[in-house]
Structure 1
């Protein structure tokens, strides 16, 4: 796994000004850092953004955040390693006071929820598109049970990849009011 993530950045990205928030696009399995940045104009983002490339190379310009074992129910270790790689990118490229708005699709959606579950104080309004959550407990879960931050969760009704029990936020301990 490559722990130094590559990225594509918005034209408004600057190292001189310190923004209050930055959007992070996190692509799905088999895609790349060029995939989601085109959503920025349609979303009307008034934030600088970066689109990160997942750390596992798949060939044909595709990458993954972690290997697929059971769709929608990944092993915790590889997901946590990918989460650490994203946080390392954030620490290297953003001011400590800048909050992030992670926008992820599929595996990238899981990564958006992971960022929230690991450092809830740094994350502002994650967007999970066709994603899922890791079933393993995470460091910020207790904080999230009390704060219940804003989160957009969107998916189609005919998902044939992620098993039904893992399709909703209620499927993971993060979004339950009582621990498993």
Structure 2
């Protein structure tokens, strides 16, 4: 797994005393995708939008956190590798804890990073993503740590397999302090209502 490209990171402002939120885009996108969300979210955070380390298969443009061989394939090992790359990028920032906001693949990687190092994160936001299968080193600790997690998804999302949604629905309540929202008619996207709900969730984390 390649390292994250530090020169590709978009910062809302130089790192300082504000709490940090790292934005993780979805498959075939890049660091510019979620960066625009910062204008609708609390200004009390610094936002850093990172670029995933892999190129998706030609002719798909953009970047990916792990490979997908067909819509039904979600290899937990790939999700873990993407999460480890994120944790390695965070390491030079020291012991400061951060929040993660990820969409689709970025949401899966965000949850997996929490499962690898529960104490690193103040909260995690999973937009149209899922919890990977299998076990992870921090799963047992998460049962008591109860990291705040916001999970938003559309009822008409054709991308995330039903099995992945069912697994996430069963797994998250026991491993997080969960706030879950299902948006009627929403496909694989983020709605204005979801952004408003996300902003309220983030305000409560301050």
Q: TM-score range by the shorter chain?
A: 0.7 to 0.9
1:125-164 alignment, distance < 5 Å: 125-164=123-162
Query: Separation in 1 of the partners of 2:160 and 2:106?
Result: 13
TM-score by length of 1: 0.85
Question: Cα distance, 1:70 vs. partner?
Answer: 5.1
Secondary structure of 2:142 counterpart = helix
2:90 alignment partner, SS class: helix
- 1:108 partner SS: helix
Q: Does 1:91 align with 2:91?
A: yes
Q: CA RMSD in A?
A: 2.1
Cα 1:72–1:26 shift into 2, 3 Å: farther
Segments of structure 2 that go 5 or more residues without pairing to the other structure are: 176-206
Q: Is the 8 A contact 1:26 1:51 kept in 2?
A: yes
Q: C-alpha displacement at 1:54, in angstroms? A: 0.6
The partner residue of 1:106 within 104, 108, 125 is 104
Cα distance in 1 between the residues matched to 2:153 and 2:163? 14
Distance 1:117 1:70, change over 3 A: farther
Structure 2: distance between partners of 1:71 and 1:20 = 38
TM-score (norm 2): 0.75
Check 1:145–1:28 CA distance in 2 against 1; reply closer, same or farther (3 A cut).
same
8 Å Cα contact 1:128/1:152 also seen in 2: yes
Structure 1 unpaired stretches of 5+: none
Q: Secondary structure at the match of 1:102?
A: strand
Number of the residue aligned with 1:2: 2
Structure with the higher helix share, 1 or 2: 2
3-state secondary structure, aligned to 2:35: coil
What is the rounded CA distance, in whole Å, between the counterparts of 2:38 and 2:122 in structure 1?
17
Q: Compared with structure 1, are the counterparts of its residues 135 and 73 closer, same or farther at alpha carbon in structure 2 (3 Å cutoff)?
A: farther
> What is the distance in 2 between the residues matched to 1:109 and 1:158?
18
Q: Which runs of 4+ in 1 moved over 6 A?
A: none
Residues 4, 108 of structure 1: CA spacing in aligned structure 2 closer, same or farther, 3 A cutoff?
A: closer
**Bigger RCO (CA 8 Å, 6+ sep):** 1
Task: Name the count of aligned residue pairs.
Answer: 171
